[in-house]
Amino acid sequence: MKSTSVTSISVTSIDPSRLLRRHWFTLAIAVSVISAILIGFFVGDRRMSAERVSALAEIDTYVQVLTDATAKSKARPELDGKLQGIANQMLGSSLETVDSEVRRRLNRACEELGFNDFSVTTGTSVGRPTPAKKEFKSPDSRKMRDEIDFMEVQATVIARASVDKVYRLIFRVDAEPWIKRIESVRLNPSADGQQVGVTLRLTTPFMPGYVGKTPPKFDPATLQLADRYAALFSSNPFRIPPPPVVVPAAIAAVPGAAPTVTAPAQAAVTATVPPIGLGGFPYGEWQITGVIEGPSGPEAWLRHLPSGSNVVLHPTMTAGELVFRGVEYDFAVFESPSGACRIQVGTNLTQRSALLASPTNG
């Protein structure tokens, strides 16, 4: 019979503290070598220096500049389209072309409206530089800084005709499709107000080098918009109305009483006002055509629309229940049974607005 023997094996655990005490010198040398390598790498790569920070900032700046340039380059077709759209509303790209076209179009407008006495002239041209000069600071961009953005051509129309033709000329010039700016309009009526002289000054810009694809074309249908001003065009605030018919003072002799006199001015108004019907005074038929401060005081000019007759009111004169008191800007001020009111020039006697403060005139 065989005997079996068992050998026991003992396992000893490793103590880290004991290992560190035995090999501390070796570990210190290893840590020092690794630290030296890392510090040398960072210093050599300049990751811990101010120069690297500055270089990174410059890189960010260059990236931003390139990004902006790319965005502007992509937006350039849209900008060119807008400039071309503006050029399409101009009359040309050179001074000679624009000067000739402005005179031709203004002459045609006067002829089509039936003017016989008119003249069209053009004046000096003015160059307008860019308003963004401060953006071009470098010597290389000096040429762009001094470049002219657009030119301006000045023109003057002098004409004389009836007031309705003058009004339509002003409307026609303003409705012309090319880009322009009306600088001033001066009206000079004749002594009797039947003819009115007009001096109209305007400025037309153009961009040198930008040629419009199609010249601006006037749409005759635009003139139909003038119908809304028909009442204004048909009126003539410059015409001096004829003096009213003065009825001789009527003296009524009553036995035992002093004679009474009817004022000539009041009698004149009564004579020109049409008879009052069953519906009362025809306020809607009377239009205020003008108000002035005349030599004898404030005056209000009225027109009877159906008959065309005219009346001049002085303070205390009446039109129906309205008593004329004075003028205030372009309003005639009246007293009515419901209180003070004012009526604007161009409206009839039914279009009244309450007067909160008493007028200075009257």
> Does one domain contain both 62 and 114?
no
Tokens (6 digits) for 33: 């070598």
Residue 6, pLDDT above cutoff 80: no
Q: How many independent structural domains does the chain possess?
A: 3
| Residue 16 belongs to a domain | no
Q: What is the pLDDT of residue 45?
A: 58
Residue 32 within any structural domain of the chain:
no
Tell me how far CA of residue 343 lies from CA of 23, 45, 201, 286, 348, in angstroms: 113, 89, 33, 11, 8
| Cα–Cα distance for residue pair 23/21, rounded to 1 Å | 6
Place of tokens 């050179």: 94
In whole angstroms, what is the distance from residue 80 CA to residue 144 CA? 17
- pLDDT at 268 exceeding the cut of 60: no
Asked, for residue 47, whether it belongs to a domain, the answer is no
Whole-angstrom distance, CA of residue 45 vs CA of residue 48: 8
**pLDDT greater at residue 41 or residue 266:** 41
Q: What is the pTM of this model?
A: 0.50
pLDDT score at 243: 61
pLDDT band at 161 (very low <50, low <70, confident <90, very high): very high
Q: 80 and 122: one domain?
A: no
Residue 151 pLDDT exceeds 70: yes
Are 284 and 350 contacting, i.e. CB atoms less than 8 angstroms apart? yes
Residues 74, 123: one domain? no
| Containing structural domain, residue 300 | 259-354
At residue 256 the predicted structure's pLDDT band, cuts being 50, 70 and 90, is very low
pLDDT band at 220 (very low <50, low <70, confident <90, very high): confident
Does 63 map to a domain?
yes
- 105 and 203 in a single domain? The answer is yes
Asked if residue 143 and residue 228 are part of one domain, the reply reads yes
